[in-house]
Amino acid sequence: MSYFPSHGLLALLAKLELRTSFNNSDRDALLALPETVRTLRRHEFIARDQENVRDCCVLIAGFAIRHKVAGNGLRQIFSIHMKGDPVDLHNSMLGTADHNLQMVSDGRATFIPIDAIRELTLAFPTVGQAMWQETLVEAAIFREWTLNIGRRDARSRMAHLLCELAVRTEQADLGTAENFEMPMTQEELGDALTMTPIHVSRTLKILATDGLISREKRSIRILDRYALTKLGDFDSAYLRLTKDSDADELASVE
Amino acid sequence: MSYFPSHGLLALLAKLELRTSFNNSDRDALLALPETVRTLRRHEFIARDQENVRDCCVLIAGFAIRHKVAGNGLRQIFSIHMKGDPVDLHNSMLGTADHNLQMVSDGRATFIPIDAIRELTLAFPTVGQAMWQETLVEAAIFREWTLNIGRRDARSRMAHLLCELAVRTEQADLGTAENFEMPMTQEELGDALTMTPIHVSRTLKILATDGLISREKRSIRILDRYALTKLGDFDSAYLRLTKDSDADELASVE
DNA sequence: CGGGCCGTTGAGCGGGCTCAAGACATGTGG
DNA sequence: CCACATGTCTTGAGCCCGCTCAACGGCCCG
């Protein structure tokens, strides 16, 4: 048992409390989860397709990708993860992985035995529902990416991804929505957006020469957020960053 | 309260018990859920993007699709649903819909108030975990479809979809894996696979002339399952049709 | 200073799209 | 029973977005 919860557990708690109201015993039980913090190197695997998964990994620092490789050798990235994301609830709750989780930068994470999470969710069903909702939101992100890859052209796809990362990095307190780190290579971006790295390069160049973004090393500055949002057909609703009750209040105010 | 649970609830129970062991009180509580059975017409919406969702719909007969329309008017279908599928746990557990659910054939379904499901999962956390796992498997299907659309060519995409439908219809007791109904139009198939209906027609024709399948009205006969599985790069593991313990047993026997 | 890795740019190609027309089944009203 | 409309599927012809192949330049780090 950890007497001093890691930043990973604290970030996870904050994330879950965005959408669910906990009482003190819920909160204490979550923070009392047994955990082991580890540093992770770029390209290190957190979980591998088809292997058993015994721990749930919560990111503390750095970025990770969720991906799977098709029989023809082509890789598809399904989502990008950052601080506070319980990155393999999906794999660990089902016992065996059906995709890979891999770091794209150096980082740190805390590992929680999945059996402890199972017991926690049985003893504190409100925490269980909150975690369930968290995976539902991740499923919504998968759907939005499918729509993105399937139904938008290269520039829109790129704009949409940049908008999502802007919102999520700000949310995770890793930068502002106007200027944030994006430590992925263009090859990784290509596998997330279903383009060749060559076309990623050309597409980013177009966005920059059109004045929508500017690029430094591995970070992005958004120069025209309105235009980028419109080009990317982006609506952050699917990320569910507010409680439903908040949304209702907003709706009733309008 | 329904004293005679509908075929929808019974099919849902059977589906959840594929992966989770219930005791009698779990089972009784699930079957005692309040429900309303309704007939549904082809093209009728079960839920609409951005609307509030108060019920969870479990299909009894007929097929439904999950989809969203991008700003450019193009539609992307995310999954196809049939008997026993709790089709909008995703939307209803989050309160508002972020995509559409629509019938592609006439059918029947039972509607369960989502508040009753929330209470059930708090009082019977094992049932909650089973439903959570069900949505995790659906998320796995979303990922597999993303891989399909993003990383396979038209013929492989089509083959993969046919393999998935073959396995799932057999599982749902709606036909054999060799011969099953597929009541979708080629336009709907196209929106599921990200192709034009014209290309769907040509692709199906190629699969038929190559001797992999034959087509009658709205049903498919699989003539060469091995070749179709190989072409579609299909591995049913992501559907999680067996308990993990079963899989472990199989693995240890090998 | 040399060797990866990463990003950029050019030139040509191709899978799947667009546009167009026709075939065929089903349903509806006269 | 036919006339007609509608929805679905098929086939043909031409085109384009993003891919492939290739070369080069910049950066980091040993």
Q: How far is B202 from chain A (nearest CA, A)?
A: 20
Lowest mean pLDDT across A80-94, A216-230, B76-90, B232-246: B232-246
Q: Which nucleotides of D are covered by protein (CB under 7 A)?
A: 7-13, 17-22, 28
169-198 on A, CB < 7 Å from strand C: 185-187, 197-198
> Å between A40 CA and C24 C1'?
62
CA nearest B93 in A: which residue?
A: A133
* pLDDT at position B251 over 50: no
Q: Greater confidence, B64 or B217?
A: B64
Task: State whether residue A18 is helix, strand or coil.
Answer: coil
Residue A65 φ/ψ, nearest 5 degrees = -120, 150
**Average pLDDT over every residue of B16-20:** 94
**pLDDT, averaged across chain A:** 93
- Quote the pLDDT of residue B71: 96
Cβ–Cβ below 8 Å for A96 and B146: no
pLDDT tier at A245 (50, 70, 90 boundaries)? low
Work out the average pLDDT over B89-112.
Answer: 96
Would you say residue B202 has pLDDT above 90?
yes
Q: Is the CB of B198 under 7 A from strand C?
A: yes
Using a 10 angstrom Cβ sphere, with 0-12 exposed, 13-18 middle and 19 or more buried, the burial of residue B252 is exposed
CA atoms within 13 A on the CB side of A133: 28
| Gyration radius of chain A's alpha carbons | 18
A195 touches strand D (CB under 7 A): yes
- Give the separation between CA B73 and CA B249, rounded to whole angstroms: 48
Quote the crossing angle between the two packed helices A114-123 and B125-151, to the nearest 10°: 130
**Strand D closer than 7 Å to the CB of B185?**
yes
Q: Which of B34, B31, B25 is nearest to B7 (CA)?
A: B31
User: E strands, chain A, where?
Assistant: 36-40, 45-47, 55-61, 64-69, 75-81, 100-103, 107-113, 179-181, 213-216, 219-222
Per-residue pLDDT of A144-165, as tens digits, reads 999 999 999 999 999 999 999 9
Q: Determine the pLDDT at residue A3.
A: 66
pLDDT of A193 over the 50 cut:
yes
pLDDT band at B2 (very low <50, low <70, confident <90, very high): very low
User: Which pLDDT does position B177 carry in this prediction?
Assistant: 86
Residue to test with chain A: of B143, B195, B239, most A Cβ within 10 A: B143
Please give the model's pTM, rounded to 2 decimal places: 0.94
Query: At a CB cut-off of 8 Å and minimum separation 6, what does B189 contact?
Result: B158, B161, B195, B197, B200
Using the predicted structure, report yes or no on whether residue A57 has a pLDDT greater than 80: yes
Q: Is the CB of B183 under 7 A from strand D?
A: no
Å separating the CA of residue A172 from the C1' of nucleotide C12: 45
A204 touches strand C (CB under 7 A): yes
Residue in A with minimal Cα distance to B242: A94
CB-based contact, A126 to chain B, within 8 Å? yes
CA distance A145 to A150: 8
- Asked if B126 reaches chain A (Cβ–Cβ under 8 Å), the answer is yes
B201 contact to strand D (CB, 7 A limit): yes
Amino acid, res. B28: D
Residues of chain A contacting residue B229, judged by C-beta atoms under 8 Å apart: none
Phi-psi bin for B84: left (phi > 0), alpha (psi -120 to 50), beta?
Answer: left
pLDDT tier, A96 (very low <50, low <70, confident <90, very high otherwise)? very high
Instruction: Give residue A249's pLDDT.
Output: 47
pLDDT of residue B1: 47
- Residue A91: Cβ within 10 Å count: 28
Q: Looking at the complex, report in whole angstroms how far the Cα of residue A28 sits from the nearest Cα belonging to chain B.
A: 18
% of chain A exceeding 70 in pLDDT: 94
> At residue A83, does pLDDT exceed 80?
yes
pLDDT tens track for B120-172: 999 999 999 999 999 999 999 999 999 999 999 999 999 999 999 999 999 99
Handedness of CA A35, A19, A193, A145 (dihedral sign): positive
Round to the nearest angstrom and report the end-to-end CA distance of chain A: 47
A129 touches chain B (CB under 8 A): yes
Q: Which residues of A touch B90 (CB under 8 A)?
A: 136, 139-140
- H helices within B85-196, ranges in order? 89-94, 114-123, 125-151, 154-171, 186-193
Largest CA distance in chain A: 55
Q: What is the pLDDT of residue B175?
A: 87
Give the B window 199-238 contacts with A, CB below 8 Å: 233, 237-238
The answer to whether the CB of A37 falls within 8 A of the CB of A109 is yes
Q: Which of B76, B147, B151 sits opposite A151 (nearest CB)?
A: B76
